[in-house]
Amino acid sequence: MQAPAFKEKKRGVPTKNQVPSQCRPPSDSIQTPCWLYRAILSVYALLALVFILCIILSVFILVKNSEMSKELVDLKRDLWNVSNSMQTREERQKKDCESIKESIKGVRSKVEKLETPLADIKNIETKVQRILEVLEKMSKSSSK
């Protein structure tokens, strides 16, 4: 009985009492080297790290996008405020220009009103001068 068990041990076939230490592939398939399993495992680990890195970068991009979005909203609000302020000042400037034009028209009309009496006053002055000259001539002729 021991002879057949001994022969089976030599062939590498485990006996009923013996537990195999490793699962061996069937003898007709090509045996893969041990380093290949480690290399594949390393590639999977590297792939997992790259995936985690992509997730972290995506989160970082989302956070930055959110911050930039808030900044853009703030800039848009500031631009709106500046635009409204400029529009208000432009309207005020137009009103002030119109007011100045009206004031200039008023001053011109008053100057024109003053010019006509000045001409009348000059006419009156010249007439008074003539009257005075005539009176002087009369007084000189009566005193002789």
pLDDT at site 1: 47
Which whole-number Å values give the CA distances from 14 to 25, 30, 98, 120, 126, in the listed order? 14, 21, 113, 146, 153
pLDDT at site 115: 77
Q: Note whether residue 1 is domain-resident.
A: no
Q: Note whether residue 31 is domain-resident.
A: no
Q: Note whether residue 15 is domain-resident.
A: no
* Residues 21 and 15 sit within 8 Å (Cβ to Cβ): no
User: Tens digits of per-residue pLDDT, 79-129?
Assistant: 999 999 999 999 999 999 999 999 999 999 988 888 777 778 888 889 999
12 secondary structure, DSSP code? T
Say whether pLDDT at 10 is over 90. no
Q: Note whether residue 18 is domain-resident.
A: no
pTM greater than 0.75 (yes/no): no
Query: Number of structural domains, the chain?
Result: 1
Say whether pLDDT at 20 is over 70. no
pLDDT at site 21: 55
Q: Note whether residue 78 is domain-resident.
A: yes
Tokens 């195999």 sit at which residue?
20
Say whether pLDDT at 33 is over 70. yes
* Structural domain range at position 79: 38-139
Q: Note whether residue 16 is domain-resident.
A: no
Q: Note whether residue 2 is domain-resident.
A: no
Q: Note whether residue 102 is domain-resident.
A: yes
Instruction: Extract the tokens encoding 31.
Output: 């045996």
